[in-house]
Amino acid sequence: MNYRHAFHAGNFADVLKHATLALALVRLTRKAKPLRVIDTHAGIGSYRLDGPEAQRTGEWTNGIGRLAGLDAEPLPAAIEALLAPYLDAVRTANPDGTLRVYPGSPAVALALMRPDDRLIASELHPEDIELLRQNLRNDRRTKALALDGWQAIRSLLPPKERRGLILIDPPFEEAGELDRLIDGLADGIRRFATGTYMLWLPIKDRPQIQNFEHKLRQLALTKVLWAELHVAPLLSDGPLTATALVVVNPPYGLSDDLAALLPFLATRLASAPGGGWELREI
Ligand X SMILES: C[S@@+](CC[C@H](N)C(=O)[O-])C[C@H]1O[C@@H](n2cnc3c(N)ncnc32)[C@H](O)[C@@H]1O
**Under rule CB under 6 A, residue 1 binds ligand X:** yes
Q: If residue 244 lies in a helix (H) or strand (E), which one and from where to where?
A: strand 242-248
- CB-wise, 41 or 133, nearer to ligand X? 41
* CA 194/CA 273 separation, integer angstroms: 40
We find the least distance from the C-beta atom of residue 238 to ligand X, in angstroms, to be: 18
> Which neighbouring-strand residues pair with 244?
201, 228
* CA 281/CA 279 separation, integer angstroms: 7
Q: Which stretch binds ligand X (CB under 6 A): 1-9, 50-58, 191-199, 223-231?
A: 1-9
169 is catalytic: yes
Binding mask 70-89 for ligand X (x = CB under 6 A): --------------------
# binding residues, ligand X (CB under 6 A): 20
Binding mask 146-175 for ligand X (x = CB under 6 A): --xx-------------------xxx----
Find the length of the chain.
Answer: 282
The single-letter DSSP state of residue 31 is S
Whether the bond between 34 and the residue before it is cis, its omega within 30 degrees of 0, is: no
Binding-site member from 23, 35, 118, 123 for ligand X (CB under 6 A): 123
Q: Which stretch binds ligand X (CB under 6 A): 39-47, 80-88, 226-234, 252-260?
A: 39-47
- For residues 170-183, one letter each, b for 16 or more C-beta atoms within 10 angstroms of the residue's C-beta and e for the rest, the string is bbbeeeeebeebbe
Residue 72 neighbours by CB under 8 Å, 6+ apart: 65, 66
Binding-site member from 10, 43, 250, 251 for ligand X (CB under 6 A): 43
**Under rule CB under 6 A, residue 10 binds ligand X:** no
Write the CA distances from 183 to 43, 155, 177, 221, 235, integer angstroms.
Answer: 21, 15, 10, 14, 26
We find the least distance from the C-beta atom of residue 170 to ligand X, in angstroms, to be: 6
- CB-wise, 51 or 276, nearer to ligand X? 51
Binding-site member from 36, 66, 118, 125 for ligand X (CB under 6 A): 125
Write the CA distances from 262 to 4, 61, 112, 235, 270, integer angstroms.
Answer: 27, 19, 21, 20, 12
* CA 4/CA 130 separation, integer angstroms: 14
**Under rule CB under 6 A, residue 5 binds ligand X:** yes
Q: Which stretch binds ligand X (CB under 6 A): 62-70, 117-125, 213-221, 241-249?
A: 117-125
Q: Which stretch binds ligand X (CB under 6 A): 35-43, 71-79, 242-250, 254-262?
A: 35-43
- Alpha helix locations (H) across the chain? 12-28, 52-57, 65-68, 77-93, 105-112, 126-136, 149-156, 177-191, 206-218, 254-268
We find the least distance from the C-beta atom of residue 135 to ligand X, in angstroms, to be: 11
Q: Which amino acid is at 46?
A: S
Selected catalytic residue, list 39, 128, 169, 257: 169
The site for ligand X (CB under 6 A) is made up of: 1, 3, 5, 17, 39, 41-43, 104-105, 122-125, 128, 148-149, 169-171
Which residues are identified as catalytic? 169
